[in-house]
Amino acid sequence: MGLELIIPILAATIQSGTPILYATLGEMLTERSGVLNLGVEGMMIFGAFFAFLVSHYTGSPWLAFACAGILAGLFGLAHAVVCLVFQGNQVVSGLALTILGVGLADFLGTPYVGLSADGFSPFSVPLLSSLPVLGDIFFKQDALVYLSYFLPFLFWFFMNRTKWGLAVGAAGENPAACFAAGLNPVKLRWAGIFFGGVLCGLGGAYLSLAYTHLWTNNMTAGRGWIAVALVIFAFWRPGRAMFGAYLFGGIMAFQLRLQAVGATLPSSLLLMLPYALTIIVLLFSSARGKGRQAPAALGVNIEPGE
């Protein structure tokens, strides 16, 4: 396999990894604030549908992208109501959010299957795209991919270097101490759920605005679940999330190209790879160590009066 085939695989890796990267960072933000939200798949497909809908009617992909994020964030607030107002079970509520999101998008989206809408197309970044090898891989993508390059760094900077980020982290580590410091951990968790949902929605929007310019039922096809697994794989750190998302994107891109060059392996075996990798990843990352722990108060509700 020569360079002329490896470069397209790596370029496709970035593209297939991007929706997962957005969603992984979204779930990571929510979990860092102390709330487990298994509704990623639901929020993603919600975002994918509304992105398509808005772009279809307005012809403005950027407006569609923004609306998808905000609407998915608002949709995710259903989880906040259950967990932060009524102290409901976070696992059950998250699952319900996924089922509801997929169902709603299916129900509302059926009339739009097969239509097309404006979206993002690849363009070359001046100068950078003429770099040998790297230019072809990283700088001939679409605007949403370029945006995603900055996200892990922004995420890291926000969580570690800003007052609000540190406060969100505190709500996830020790809500009682956070409260004692004069902050309101419940409000911080509301924010964590909302902005996490926004990022998940943006990941979904990538599928219907850039990856394809089409909408179909169930188009997230399990990518939300991969994102949930990747948060654990990444030990709740944004840099590793980027690595993990591209690892998955790479496997998806690779198996199709392996078939294309005429590999005689059964295709079922190749298609299984990303999912087999999910299990392996979870096995390996379950070995705990320093700097690998989940936020201490992850999944623990804040009881009133605490």
Range 1-40, binding other proteins (CB under 8 A): 5, 8-9, 12, 16
Q: How far is the CB of 256 from other proteins (least distance, A)?
A: 4
Under the binding rule (CB under 8 A), the answer on residue 121 touching other proteins is yes
Do the beta carbons of residue 193 and residue 35 sit within 8 Å? yes
Residue 134 or 181 with smaller CB distance to other proteins: 134
Under the binding rule (CB under 8 A), the answer on residue 128 touching other proteins is no
Query: Residue 216, Cα to own-chain centre: how many angstroms?
Result: 19
Do the beta carbons of residue 220 and residue 39 sit within 8 Å? no
Do the beta carbons of residue 62 and residue 54 sit within 8 Å? no
In DSSP terms, 116 is beta-bridged to 214
Under the binding rule (CB under 8 A), the answer on residue 296 touching other proteins is no
Structure tokens at 258: 């392996």
- In degrees to the nearest 10, what's the CA dihedral of 18, 20, 25, 30? 150
| Site stretch for other proteins (CB under 8 A), options 24-32, 85-93, 235-243, 265-273 | 265-273
Of 261, 283, 284, 291, the residue at the interface with other proteins (CB under 8 A) is 261
How many CA atoms lie less than 13 Å away from 276 in the CB half-sphere? 9
Q: How far is CA 232 from CA 32, 166, 191, 298, in A?
A: 12, 20, 21, 12
Under the binding rule (CB under 8 A), the answer on residue 133 touching other proteins is no
Under the binding rule (CB under 8 A), the answer on residue 140 touching other proteins is no
- In angstroms, the CA 239 to CA 149 distance is 11
Of 263, 279, 280, 282, the residue at the interface with other proteins (CB under 8 A) is 263
Helix (H) or strand (E) run with residue 183 in it: none
| Site stretch for other proteins (CB under 8 A), options 25-33, 233-241, 262-270, 278-286 | 262-270
How big is the site for other proteins, counted in residues (CB under 8 A)?
A: 39
Under the binding rule (CB under 8 A), the answer on residue 292 touching other proteins is no
Q: What one-character-per-residue DSSP string does 94-155 give? A: HHHHHHHHHHHHHHHHGGGTT-B-------PPTTGGGSTTHHHHHSSS-HHHHHHHHHHHHH
| Site stretch for other proteins (CB under 8 A), options 86-94, 165-173, 207-215, 286-294 | 207-215
| Site stretch for other proteins (CB under 8 A), options 152-160, 257-265, 283-291, 293-301 | 257-265
DSSP state of 214: B
Of 108, 113, 131, 181, the residue at the interface with other proteins (CB under 8 A) is 113
How many CA atoms lie less than 13 Å away from 146 in the CB half-sphere? 15
Q: How far is the CB of 137 from other proteins (least distance, A)?
A: 13
What are the counts of helices (DSSP H) followed by strands (DSSP E) for the chain? 12, 0
- Region for 41 from its dihedrals, namely left if φ exceeds 0, alpha if ψ lies in -120 to 50, beta otherwise: alpha
Residue 10 or 186 with smaller CB distance to other proteins: 10
Under the binding rule (CB under 8 A), the answer on residue 129 touching other proteins is no
Under the binding rule (CB under 8 A), the answer on residue 268 touching other proteins is yes
Structure tokens at 19: 């929706």
Under the binding rule (CB under 8 A), the answer on residue 302 touching other proteins is no
| Site stretch for other proteins (CB under 8 A), options 57-65, 238-246, 259-267, 284-292 | 259-267
Under the binding rule (CB under 8 A), the answer on residue 209 touching other proteins is no
Residue 6 or 66 with smaller CB distance to other proteins: 6
**For binding to other proteins (CB under 8 A), which residues are involved?**
5, 8-9, 12, 16, 110-116, 121-122, 207, 211-214, 216-219, 221, 252-253, 256-257, 259-268, 271
